[in-house]
Amino acid sequence: MKSRMFLGLAAALLAACSGNSGQASAQVQDQPAGSLVPPTSASDFTATQLDQVLAGSWRSPEHKARDVYRHPKATLQFFGIRPDQTVIEITPGGGWYTEILAPLLHDNGHYIAAVLKPNADGEARRDVTALRATFAGDAAHYGKAQILEFDPKAPVLGASGSADLVLTFRNVHNWVEADTAPAMFKAFYAALRPGGVLGVVDHRAADNASVDAIKESGYLPTSYVVKLATDAGFKLEDQSEINANPKDTKDYPKGVWTLPPTLTLGEQDKAKYLAIGESDRMTLRFVKPQAPAPAH
């Protein structure tokens, strides 16, 4: 039902732009409902919706200023997002991506912010409190968003097979340091439907870096993150250089937090680190394999 509704909305948008409602409607309706690969018209519709959300007045100026480093439109398109999906964002922190995802999914999809249970550290509690206040204070954009609490040592992210897309931005290094990463990736796998996508963005170390030597720096080797996902059952479908930054030398006094937006060293060499920008990041798309057809 959601796929038909989404495609119908795509048809309406195209018709409004082209002035030929019959042709646009036929173009969309010819596509099979529930297809994992959206038709071109649906992709165009998603791009238009993303543009509108990214320009939204509810997004803070500070968050918009980070778009140049985080490339949200290209990143979300790479992960195959559509406005009719059920999307779980893992530990959204200050809500940078929440300001984009929840309004994008408001009308026809379902946004779920998966957060640590209240017995988590103080920073996590403050983030959750702020997230709840945001959702309560702007029903027009966040009214249908949901908060799901989980235990990082035994995470459960809703009903098995209930999500189309699970997204995590700059979190894996925290789980590696806390020794909860394998459990988290298994939870992602359980939450996704067969054919569902896991999108991962994180700070990228040199390929030959030792995890034990650098894990407190915030950086991780891509191969290590791929192994975490494949050990949980995922297949690496693609990787992108959307969020690459060749200026990042990855050898700072306070690790990745030396760079913006954190700038842990304060005014010390601030201009230097601002000129580097945010970290060099891996962008990985994994898929949960389709269940094999039953033998006859």
CATH code for position 81: 3.40.50.150
* pLDDT tens figures, 168-217: 999 999 999 999 999 999 999 999 999 999 999 999 999 889 998 898 99
| 81 located within any domain | yes
Q: How far apart are CA 84 and CA 107, in angstroms?
A: 8
Tally Cβ neighbours within 10 Å of residue 296. Answer: 3
| 276 located within any domain | yes
Q: What is the pLDDT of residue 44?
A: 81
Number of domains in the chain: 1
| 296 located within any domain | no
Q: What is the pLDDT of residue 215?
A: 85
Q: What is the pLDDT of residue 128?
A: 85
| 54 located within any domain | no
Tally Cβ neighbours within 10 Å of residue 130. Answer: 14
Q: Which residues pair with 204 in a beta bridge?
A: 220
Q: How many residues are present in the chain? A: 296
Domain with 262 in it: 61-287
Q: How far apart are CA 203 and CA 277, in angstroms?
A: 13
pLDDT(144) > 90:
yes
Q: What is the pTM of this model?
A: 0.84
| 3 located within any domain | no
Q: 276 to each of 23, 41, 114, how far by Cα in Å?
A: 49, 38, 31
* pLDDT tens figures, 214-235: 989 999 999 999 999 999 999 9
| 15 located within any domain | no
* pLDDT tens figures, 19-77: 333 333 333 333 333 343 444 456 788 899 999 999 999 999 999 999 999 999 999 99
Higher pLDDT, 8 or 80: 80
Exposure string of 253-284, with b = 16+ CB inside 10 Å and e = fewer, is: eebbbbbbeebebeeeeeeebeebbbbbbbbb
| 85 located within any domain | yes
* pLDDT tens figures, 68-105: 999 999 999 999 999 999 999 999 988 999 999 999 99
| 12 located within any domain | no
Exposure string of 231-242, with b = 16+ CB inside 10 Å and e = fewer, is: ebebebeeebeb
pLDDT(10) > 60:
no
Q: What is the pLDDT of residue 31?
A: 36
Q: What is the pLDDT of residue 125?
A: 77
E strand or H helix that includes residue 45: helix 40-54
pLDDT(127) > 50:
yes
Which of 27-31, 158-162, 262-266 bottoms out in mean pLDDT, i.e. has the lowest? 27-31
